[in-house]
Amino acid sequence: MSASQVSPARAVFAGALLENKARSALAVLAIALGVALGYAVQLITESAVNEQALGAQLLSGNADLQIRGPRRGFDEAIYAQLARLPEVAVASPVIEIDARLADRDDALQIIGQDVFRAAAVTPATGVVSGDRLDLLRPDVLFLSPAAAAWLGVGAGDRLRFQVALGVISLRVEGVGGVAGAGARQRFARMDIAGAQTAFDRLGLLTRVDLRLKPGVDVGAFRERLQAQLPAGLAVDRAQDTLAIAAGVSRAYRINMDILALVALFTGGLLVFSTQVLSVVRRRPYFALLRVLGMTRSRLVALLVAEAALLGAIGSSLGIPAGWLLAYMAERLTGPDLGSGYFAGVAPTLTLLPAALALCFALGVAAALLGGLLPALEAARAAPALALRAGDEARAFARLRPIGPGLTLLALATLCVFAPPVAGLPLFGYAAIALLLLGTLLLLPRFVGIALALMPIPRRAAPQLALAQLRGAPGPAAVTLAAIVASLSLMVAMAIMVASFRQALDAWLIDILPAELYVRANAGGDSGYMDAADQARIASLPGVLRVEFLREQQLVLDPARPRVVLLARMIDAAEPGRRLPLVRPALMPVADSAPPMWVNETMVDVYGFTPGKVVDIPLAGKSARFIVAGVWRDYARPQGAMVIERARYVALTGDEDATAAALWLEPGTTAEKFSAALRADVPGGARLDIASPGEIREVSLHIFDRTFAVTYALELAAVAIGLCGLSSSFGALVLSRRREFGVLRHLGMTRCQIGTMLATEGLLLSGIGLIAGLCLGTVISLILIQVVNRQSFHWGMAMSIPWSALAAAALLVLVLSTLTALVTGRRALGGDLVQAVKDDW
């Protein structure tokens, strides 16, 4: 086929893409950025979850069922009962300890097993030593390859662990013995009896793995067994345990996915803006093609394919970019992006074909959807009218009706009040999407109203600029779409994060009234203060008052993660002096169940509303409490309950404490007292001592690190928005070359035309800024009151970072005005005079 025989259709479409290389490139870049972010988030979080799941699966092996209980452990007598059940082929007892390393601020998971039973249930955790009897030795452990590499030790070395306030030493007998996923998990295995003895867990187990006999109905047996077990124990299938573990981080991962989708959505809006203006400019060409015989459906197909091509190119670039981003982010922040959900997991990034295909498809879909509306409008245009120059205004007429926009806003309002779906704020996300789309549809009307309210300037160039914008609010709204969307999302995230930070800071001040805080189990659960340690601490010179606390983790619902129990010294008549209550507490009543105070998660998830009488499992028995109050808690999204320590000790006999709050006598400084504590209390050097200020600083640092990825995604979205503004404004200016040619004929200087463009850019940017700020504020309300509440079950007051927002707004205004001016001036290049002669 010779050049002269190229179909006009191909010439129009391919020519348009090549003619507008810069705008096409910007659209491709926006899609690529959105896909890269989405894929990177998927790679990091899914790899970590998969690794976590594989690790758990490895350690579960062929177990049909697992019995779990409190984190500290349950009575090992259960094991003997389980092993004797006729349905059970093999029962493998397990004790799991997060053992705090004595020489570094970390913990290593120790798995104590009966090697023979374990081999029958979890063969993957097989023998690693030449001498099988080594596995029975109580003072040795076997490291996974990942643990050995992490700790920098090998066979023959010794590791020191903190137990209570003391230190024990264990020899590394071997490394390895697991392959594949197991090699990447950091853990150690040792004989169960040795683990129980070494870590003071005599008579306790944390898990029993069961392999059932062939033919046993697993589901039915599970139900029977659950009914027979003592309170506080749960029977799960191995895959249920995996789901529970993954569920802990689910809300966080979905939030990250949504943020990545935001970037992709903004990219799709950029494609929409580019395509709308490009299609309008080619309106007469399409009219000619229709006159020459092209059908509407073919025209739509070609235009949609054009948009999809942009998306495909963008996705192709975005996938490898996403891989690179994930690699860099993991090196910088770790596999959990700083959130702390996957501590101890060292995943290897894998391709994740499903995520790759999904992200690729989403990139194409975003571009395709962005091009669909303009394509449909182009096909609807009457050829005879569209052939006439000046028919472009008709293309934007469909943006005028406000019905669709108002409908979407109404739907968004309904979604705000909808409950969570499977614990996720899906309707909250839907409300945000509907609010965004509805506002974008109403943008032409908003632009029109804003422009109508502006006073008419005295000088010609700004006067014409205002007149031009007033005469054509549709194109202006299209130009603004991407920047309004990205700006509003940036504002929303900024307000949400600022509110959260402010709330966290205020909460920390409330929750830390003492002068010093001491922890024995920081970074693990093997440390604690026994009664003697507590007595020594309380009797140290300078102590005015000390309150000890015991932290436990209990299973309340087999389908959910463990909840935290805090047994602390608290005045039941005035719990608000120690807990940040969200509403006044119920006063204790004689003869009623003893009081318990729960965090907001316990209310939302477990229904522990004030006044409700509940049974919680303690020491294998049910203990009855009445919910006396609800307190705000940003540290334990899985749920937390507070009871009086004296009652806990009476019910369980457990006098150990994991933490203490200290008030000092006047004249006693925190530094001097800390030194005395470390020196005078045996094992005091292994206590973690911190002032409230230090705890606040560390907590806020962790908070900032957790949200670092959020900040990066926000910046990416704003960058895409600015690109959108540049691209759209350039296209608009290009479409008005004839107008500018006429103005040059009539005596307008280039400088005046530049002023006109700058004024248009400033007005548009200002309107976009106002729209973005207002919309962003409303979205932040939804994020705070709905999404956060339903995801993590915590409430917070809204706090607007005025100065930061003002600075960001000013920067965006300047950047977008400059962008519009530079782009417009560039588009004005060439022979404007000749443009006057053009019919089209």
Partner 1 sequence: MLVVRGLSKAYAGARPRTVFAGVDLSLGPGDYVAVMGESGIGKSTLLNLIAGLDRADAGSIALDGVEFTTQDDDTITATRRRRLGFVFQAFHLLPYLSVAQNVGLPLTLQGGESEDSPRRVAAMLSAVGLGERGASMPRELSGGELQRVAIARALVHRPQLVLADEPTGNLDPESAGQVLSLLREQIKANGAAGILVTHSRPAAATADRILLLTQTGLREPNLV
The residue ranges that bind partner 1 (CB under 8 A) are 389-390, 393, 458-460, 463-464, 467-468, 470-472, 738-739, 742-752, 833, 836-837, 839
Compute the radius of gyration of the chain from its Cα atoms.
33
Judged by CB, which is closer to partner 1: 332, or 385?
A: 385
Q: Of 397, 385, 395, which Cα lies nearest the Cα of 275?
A: 395
Secondary-structure percent of the chain, ordered helix, strand, coil, rounded to 5:
60, 15, 25
Shortest Cβ 762–partner 1 spacing (Å): 18
Neighbours of 25 (CB within 10 A): 16
CA dist., res. 701 & res. 687, Å (int): 22
**Given the complex with partner 1, which of 387 and 435 has the nearer CB atom?**
387
User: Whole-angstrom Cα distance, residue 487 to residue 222?
Assistant: 52
For residue 642, which phi and psi values (nearest 5 degrees)? -115, 130
* Minimum CB distance to partner 1 smaller for 391 or for 654: 391
Least separation in angstroms between residue 481's CB and partner 1 is 21
Say how far apart CA 640 and CA 553 lie, in whole Å.
9
Counting beta carbons within 10 angstroms of the beta carbon of residue 337, is it exposed (0 to 12), middle (13 to 18) or buried (19 or more)? Answer: buried
Q: Which residues lie across from 644 on neighbouring strands?
A: 568
Q: Answer yes or no: are the C-beta atoms of 681 and 536 closer than 8 Å.
A: yes
Nearer to partner 1, 388 or 501 (CB): 388
Q: What is the DSSP string of 174-223?
A: EE----GGGGGB-EEEEEHHHHHHHTT-TTEESEEEEEEPTT--HHHHHH
Closest approach of partner 1 to the CB of residue 476, in Å: 11
Inter-residue contact 53 to 275 (CB < 8 Å): no
Q: How far is the CB of 424 from partner 1 (least distance, A)?
A: 48
Least separation in angstroms between CB 748 and partner 1: 6
CB of 339 to partner 1, least distance (A): 52
- Minimum distance of partner 1 from residue 467's CB (angstroms): 6
C-beta closer to partner 1: residue 475 or 683? 475
Calpha distance 700→706 (Å, rounded): 10
Nearer to partner 1, 459 or 545 (CB): 459
Give 291 or 833: the residue with its C-beta nearer to partner 1: 833
> Cβ of residue 440: shortest distance to partner 1, in angstroms?
23
CB of 474 to partner 1, least distance (A): 12
CA 649 → CA 76, 566, 619, distances in Å?
21, 12, 10
| Per-position b or e across 810-820, b if 16+ CB within 10 A of its CB | eebbebbbbbb
**DSSP state, 421?**
B
Minimum CB distance to partner 1 smaller for 572 or for 836: 836
Calculate helix-pair angle for 296-333, 250-281, nearest 10 degrees: 140
Phi/psi of residue 616, each to 5°? -120, 145
CA–centroid distance for 636 within its chain:
16
Backbone torsion region of residue 413, taken as left when φ is above 0, otherwise alpha when ψ lies between -120 and 50, otherwise beta: alpha
DSSP lists the bridge partners of residue 169 as: 160
> Closest distance between partner 1 and the C-beta of residue 747, in Å?
2
Q: Which is nearer to partner 1, 471 or 513 (CB)?
A: 471
* Nearest CB to partner 1, comparing residues 681 and 764: 764
Q: Please state the closest distance from residue 801 (CB atom) to partner 1, in A.
A: 39
Q: Could you count the other beta carbons within 10 Å of the beta carbon of residue 470?
A: 17
In this complex, which beta carbon is closest to partner 1, that of residue 115 or of residue 387?
387
| Amino acid at the residue 801 | P
- The smaller minimum CB distance to partner 1, of residues 215 and 390, is found at 390
Give the 3-state secondary structure of residue 399.
helix
Provide the minimum distance between the beta carbon of 735 and partner 1 in the complex, in angstroms, as a whole number: 12
Backbone angles phi, psi at 208, to 5 degrees: -130, 125
- 84/458 with CB nearer partner 1: 458
In the complex, what is the shortest distance from the CB of residue 273 to partner 1, in angstroms, rounded to a whole number? 20
CA gap 3, 8 in Å, rounded: 11
